Amino acid sequence: VVMQAGRIVESGAVAEVMSAPSHPYTRKLLDSVPGRHGFAAPEAVESRDEAPLLRVSNVSKVYFGQPRLFSKAPQEQLRAVDDASFTLRRGETLGIVGESGSGKSTLARMLLGLDAPTEGTIEFEGRNLTGATAAETFKIRRRMQFVFQDPTASLNPRMTIQQIVAEPWAIHQGVLPREQWRARVAELLEMVGLKAEHADRHPHQFSGGQRQRIAIARSLALNPDLIVCDEAVSALDVSIQAQVIDLLKELRRELGLSYVFIAHDLALVRDFATSVIVMYRGKIVEQGPTAEVYGAPRHDYTRRLLAASGAETGSKAA
Ligand code: ADP
Ligand code: MG
């Protein structure tokens, strides 16, 4: 049964509805499934010779279990991220994929400086994040923004959209004079496909997809170089997923943004990322340009992920 705006627009046997949808909305939904039409090759990246935006060297994160009193057993350890190394160049989009629990969010938090690595170093434009002073960290933060999975949890329900999008300017003073906030919020909202008059509403007055657009508008407020998206579209339905990805692509083109884009769905990353990392139990088991990883996966786990998402045939996803 396919529903739209509270009404059943189509119903029938699965095979029938899938292969011969009669309602335009059903066709639109099916069209939005990632990989259904094969994949567009991601845009090439220029200026390969400049210093990478992000360099991650041998980074690990170890979580320790509860120490047990009177027990001689060694304390339990979990290597949530184990010896990860990669670089991200300006303009690139790095996709990080792997099943739930593989260490993706732990890695994302370390990239953003929200959590410190147990071992290894992370450099942003050659500056070490781990050794940075508070003032340096504050400056670097401005250039790296994030969009998380759940826009309901990441947007304060008591604030208006105006306050939410303008908040970074209140924190990073001197970036934009207060009298320009109103106009700039209006511009940012229009940039992400919303309207200027939405600024006076509250988050609950928007749909999930719209809320994620608001989170993206806020992430753009400080003109960042890098946006880390952790499962940013995973909670959205497929047609909205495609719209938000299109928006991210457009912003990449217009603003020259770089992304780290984390997802558990391989198909989603395929026509968006320029390179891909596959994580499995904290380890990077495969990495390379998107076309190579998808075209000739070396690791068994990558092959299994590809098979599971239907990304390898480009049509099984539906
Ligand atoms: P993913 O984002 O790929 O689903 P996470 O990075 O959230 O994976 O988690 C990786 C592993 O680290 C999981 O086994 C998780 O339980 C564990 N983990 C994450 N955060 C903590 C924490 N703060 N303390 C202890 N273990 C954690
Ligand atoms: Mg996660």
Mean pLDDT within 285-299: 92
**To which residue do tokens 């969010």 refer?**
105
More confident: 166 or 130: 166
- In this structure, the residue with its CA closest to atom 26 of ligand 1 is 63
Q: With bands split at pLDDT 50, 70 and 90, how would you rate the model's confidence at 40?
A: low
CA of 98, nearest ligand number: 1
Question: Using a 6 Å cutoff on CB, does residue 280 contact ligand 1?
Answer: no
- In this structure, the residue with its CA closest to atom 25 of ligand 1 is 63
For residue 174, is pLDDT > 50?
yes
- In this structure, the residue with its CA closest to atom 13 of ligand 1 is 101
- Following DSSP, what letter does each residue of 243-298 receive, concatenated? HHHHHHHHHHHHH--EEEEEES-HHHHHTT-SEEEEEETTEEEEEEEHHHHHHS--
Least confident of 5-14, 43-52, 250-259: 43-52
Mean residue pLDDT of the chain comes to 87
Question: Using a 6 Å cutoff on CB, does residue 98 contact ligand 1?
Answer: yes
- Residue 186 is predicted with a pLDDT of 97
- Residue 48 is predicted with a pLDDT of 53
Mean pLDDT within 144-152: 87
- In this structure, the residue with its CA closest to atom 10 of ligand 1 is 103
pTM of the predicted model as reported, rounded to 2 decimal places: 0.81
Distance 211 CA to ligand 1 centre (A): 26
Question: Using a 6 Å cutoff on CB, does residue 60 contact ligand 1?
Answer: no
267-304 burial, b at 16+ Cβ within 10 Å, e below that, comes to bbbbbbbbbbbbbbebbbbbbbbbeebbeebeeebbee
For residue 316, is pLDDT > 50?
no
CA of 97, nearest ligand number: 1
* Three-state DSSP string of 292-308: HHHHCCCCHHHHHHHHH
For residue 46, is pLDDT > 70?
no
For residue 120, is pLDDT > 70?
yes
Least confident of 95-99, 127-131, 182-186, 188-192: 127-131
* CB of 212 closer than 8 Å to CB of 194: no
For residue 292, is pLDDT > 50?
yes
Q: With bands split at pLDDT 50, 70 and 90, how would you rate the model's confidence at 275?
A: very high
Mean pLDDT within 302-306: 88
Q: With bands split at pLDDT 50, 70 and 90, how would you rate the model's confidence at 133?
A: confident
